[in-house]
Structure 1
Amino acid sequence: MDIYSELRELALASRLKRLSETMMGEAEALYQDLGIDFRPRWFLLFYILGRRTRMGIVDLAGLLGMTHPAVKKIADEMLKAGIIMEEKDPADDRRRLLTLSPQGHQVLPRLLPVWEEIRGSVRDLLAEARVDLIRDLEQVEATFAQRSVIHRTRERLGLPVRDRLEIVDYRPAYKKHFKSLNEEWLTKDFVIEEHDAKILNNPNRTILNRGGFILFALLDGEVAGTCAMVRYKGDVFELCKMAVAPNARRKGIGRALAQAAVERACREGAREIFLQTSPLLKPALRLYRKMGFKKQARYPLPRPDYGRDSLTLRLELAC
């Protein structure tokens, strides 16, 4: 019994993933047979850098429609393998750009004819199957962008349809939400300390006027979350005061806020981001680790220590 044929539309995502993983596995075996040290998951980044010379991670993420952490993870693998390298941006020496390394330039001519043969083989496969899968897939993606599967399912179930999540900059009208959202989680598990109060009561002086920024997540037009980035020493930032409304949790809002904050910091020349979080806040800790933050022995920024137990995390950027 083929469970995928039985489930049909219900298993569409799983079936597409199975096909993708099978094709990726075959490609990896092909590279090995040809003696080329290359991984299929590197293909898109490598191809783009081979054509565009140099790009930052934020720009690559936008071009590929991927998250910053996902692109950074792949880029880190490629840097470790030595096929790409980092260079300073001539327009801003705080910013790092990715480019092919000398090793990458040696590999590229070997890969180009292989890719053309793979392209021809895919065309042969689709012609033999008598489908125009590329055209149909483009149409499915465009239709999905207008009304997704879950959007349609919510309509069928009679549930309210969620608007797309929107991340926006600080506005004076949102100041009260910055304070109330953070007070909610602070008073639930901890106490509001002096340093907390200074930030929450005067975000203009403590964050915005120092070159930092505050973001808000709007869900159905209502403020559902917030986070802040404080700037230190030009290219060092601190991620702080991340909060999501209790009734809006488990919807990916924290991840969307954190990713938007990291990408914004990249655009503003950040080289590293620090944060402090309590070991009691396990969902937040999992999120930060998935984004690439690493534990540090001490907090290096000039600021008062909190009375509550805290872990120090650091994210090194290659924007």
Structure 2
Amino acid sequence: MSFYESLGFLVFGSRLRRLSEAFLADVNKIYASHDLSFDAAWFPVFYILSRQETVSIRDISDELGISHSAVSQLVSSLQQKGFIKTATADDDARKKVVAFTTKGKKLQQQVQPVWDALQQAMGALVQEGKHSKTILTAISEIEQGLQNESVFNRVQTILHHK
């Protein structure tokens, strides 16, 4: 049993971070090996825009469950690279919407086969383990549990009852 396995939930976050970092490093290596100037961090915005012609920053924020500010920073970065453009929404002058530029749409079409292959590879990977088949369900359940009550509150409750 490894050090991390032996500590159970005390290092849960560290194990998830290590897993995420390894996964994202491999994904970025895949893009680079196919001469695609794409970063895994761009995926959520690119994916959403690949499914909708235009989308508001607020809608991206809501869909991803991250702050409006974080989405705005990512959108600004992608805009500076020439992949997306912003405009004022037709129905609300206060709302900013984003869309692909021609350059961005071309890049999205180039990375789509990688996304498809990644989906297949990950599907095969989770079939290899006895318990890994349910990892996405388990993660969803933990996310829901954390929405119901944070780890902070859970620990505080336990400490206050001792």
The corresponding residue for 1:77 is 77
Deviation at 1:144, TM superposition (A): 2.2
Q: Distance in 2 between matches of 1:142 and 1:78?
A: 31
**1:110 is matched by which residue type in structure 2?**
Q
Q: Distance in 2 between matches of 1:11 and 1:90?
A: 48
**2:118 is matched by which residue type in structure 1?**
I
Q: Distance in 1 between matches of 2:16 and 2:80?
A: 30
Q: 1:2 to 1:73 in 2, by over 3 A?
A: farther
Residues 10-21 of structure 1 mapped to structure 2, 5 A cutoff:
10-21=10-21
Q: Distance in 2 between matches of 1:3 and 1:103?
A: 46
Over residues 59-108 of structure 1, what are the superposed CA-to-partner deviations in whole Å (9 max), with x where a residue is unaligned?
A: 21111110112112211221122111112322234532111110111112
Deviation at 1:138, TM superposition (A): 1.2
* 2:151 paired with 1:149: yes
Deviation at 1:143, TM superposition (A): 2.1
Q: Distance in 2 between matches of 1:92 and 1:128?
A: 50
The corresponding residue for 1:38 is 38
* 2:108 paired with 1:108: yes
The structure in which a higher percent of residues are helix is 2
Residues 25-174 of structure 1 mapped to structure 2, 5 A cutoff:
25-130=25-130, 131=132, 132-158=134-160
Deviation at 1:53, TM superposition (A): 1.4
Q: Distance in 2 between matches of 1:138 and 1:94?
A: 34
Q: Distance in 1 between matches of 2:35 and 2:3?
A: 37
**2:18 is matched by which residue type in structure 1?**
R
- Which SS does the other structure have where 2:9 is aligned? helix
Over residues 251-276 of structure 1, what are the superposed CA-to-partner deviations in whole Å (9 max), with x where a residue is unaligned?
A: xxxxxxxxxxxxxxxxxxxxxxxxxx
- Which SS does the other structure have where 2:115 is aligned? helix
RMSD over aligned Cα atoms: 1.7
Q: Distance in 1 between matches of 2:6 and 2:143?
A: 24
Q: Distance in 2 between matches of 1:33 and 1:133?
A: 28
- Which SS does the other structure have where 2:95 is aligned? strand
Q: 1:137 to 1:94 in 2, by over 3 A?
A: closer
Could you say which structure has the larger radius of gyration? 1
Deviation at 1:126, TM superposition (A): 0.7
| TM-score calculated relative to the size of structure 2 | 0.89
Q: Distance in 2 between matches of 1:94 and 1:154?
A: 41
Identity of aligned residues (%): 26
Gaps in structure 2 of 5+ consecutive residues: none
Matched pairs, number: 159
Over residues 27-56 of structure 1, what are the superposed CA-to-partner deviations in whole Å (9 max), with x where a residue is unaligned?
A: 111111111111100001110011111122
Gaps in structure 1 of 5+ consecutive residues: 160-319
Residues 172-211 of structure 1 mapped to structure 2, 5 A cutoff:
none
**1:10 is matched by which residue type in structure 2?**
L
Over residues 162-206 of structure 1, what are the superposed CA-to-partner deviations in whole Å (9 max), with x where a residue is unaligned?
A: xxxxxxxxxxxxxxxxxxxxxxxxxxxxxxxxxxxxxxxxxxxxx
| TM-score calculated relative to the size of structure 1 | 0.47
**1:152 is matched by which residue type in structure 2?**
R
Q: Distance in 2 between matches of 1:152 and 1:46?
A: 36
- Which SS does the other structure have where 1:44 is aligned? helix
Q: Distance in 2 between matches of 1:72 and 1:147?
A: 28
**2:117 is matched by which residue type in structure 1?**
E
Q: 1:94 to 1:113 in 2, by over 3 A?
A: same
**1:136 is matched by which residue type in structure 2?**
A
Deviation at 1:2, TM superposition (A): 4.1
The structure in which a higher percent of residues are strand is 1
- Which SS does the other structure have where 2:66 is aligned? coil
